[in-house]
Amino acid sequence: MKIAGQTAIVTGAASGMGEATAAALAAGGAKVALFDVKADVVRATAKRVGGLDVVCDVSDAASTEAAFAAVRQQLGPARILVNCAGIPDFAPVVGPDGPLPLERFNRVIAVNLSGTFNTIRLAAAEMMGLAPLDEGERGVIINTTSIAATEGSEFTAAYTASKGAIHSLTIALAREFGDAGIRVLAIAPAGIRTPMMTMLPPQAQQAIEGTMPFPKRLADPKVFAKLVLHICDNTFLNGTAIRLDGGARGAYKVLKPTGD
């Protein structure tokens, strides 16, 4: 799909990989809607990259339905959806204060997994009503997983579970939406210098850099955006999760439990 002139929605677009993706799509001529729950930040980001800021909590059905309606009215229905919204929770399942509260687990699942499904269901419904482009394509949906989805990651049980589920959801929906001409893929990044990564202590970031075969550094979020552009352009990519990890294999520790 050629992105010029197409409407694109990017969730979690206020910063990190979402911001980089929104900027790249806008630079390529797409009409970009930036979804994020942080109103002031997404407004500033949208102004900087040249897009429409839309305050949206992807874990809330009404909020997301209103956001899609705003995009339809101002930019037209979207043919491109990039799901970058997500939150971490760095904690052991059983720590010094006892078991992890279920509410913390459920919150991560609500944003990462349910939020991804929430936007997909709305975007796919719109795409199915659009006229087909070349080869019958009506749209492309790109989700964000993680190497944690397949490798696991200690002390991030909710995050890892959510990303593993998104990986499976991506493959299932690529099959389900295939006859409608909608591609569904995921990118599984690691070692990207995002706000989530910078939440880790410097020594943890250095340890992660050390696990990278080559190059031994954290990557700029722009590498994620470049892959998004390629996925949009290459219609033979479908139904898979593409690792974007500098060749890293095996999960890394993000923290150690404190206390006994």
CATH at 142: 3.40.50.720
pLDDT given at position 156: 87
CA separation for the pair 42, 38 (Å, rounded): 6
pLDDT value for 248: 75
Catalytic residue among 35, 155, 159, 224: 159
C-beta separation of 83 from 11 below 8 A = yes
252 tagged catalytic: no
- pLDDT tens for the chain, 260 residues long, are 999 999 999 999 999 999 999 999 999 999 999 999 999 999 999 999 999 999 999 999 999 999 999 999 999 999 999 999 999 888 999 999 999 999 999 999 999 999 999 999 999 999 999 999 989 999 999 999 988 778 877 788 999 999 999 999 999 999 999 999 999 999 999 878 777 766 666 766 666 766 776 777 677 899 999 999 999 999 999 999 999 988 776 555 555 544 43
pLDDT for res 136: 96
In a domain, 249, yes or no: no
Burial string for 154-169 (b: 16+ CB within 10 Å, else e) reads bbbbbbbbbbbbbbeb
259 falls within a domain = no
Distance in angstroms (rounded) separating the CA atoms of residues 22 and 9? 8
Q: Is residue 88 part of a domain?
A: yes
pLDDT in the model for residue 257:
46
End-to-end CA distance of the chain: 54
Q: 3-state class of 162 per DSSP?
A: helix
> Does any domain span residue 250?
no
Q: What is the pLDDT of residue 140?
A: 99
Q: Answer whether residue 36 is part of any domain.
A: yes
Q: Which structure tokens are listed for 235?
A: 């219609």
The reply to whether 260 falls in a domain is: no
Please, what's the b/e burial string for 225-255 (b: 16 or more CB within 10 A of its CB; e: otherwise)? Answer: bebbbebbeebebbbbbbbbbbebeebbebe
Tell me whether residue 252 is in a domain.
no
- CA dihedral (102, 104, 109, 110) positive or negative: positive
The backbone torsions φ and ψ at residue 95, rounded to the nearest 5 degrees and listed phi first, read -115, -170
pLDDT at 148: 79
Beta strands in the chain (DSSP E): 7-11, 31-36, 52-55, 80-83, 94-95, 98-99, 139-144, 182-189, 241-244
Residue 2 resides in a domain: no
**Rounded Cα gap, residues 34 and 22, in angstroms:** 7
pTM summary value: 0.92
How many structural domains are present in the chain? 1
Q: Would you give the distance in Å from CA 108 to the centre of its chain?
A: 14
Domain that residue 56 falls in: 7-244
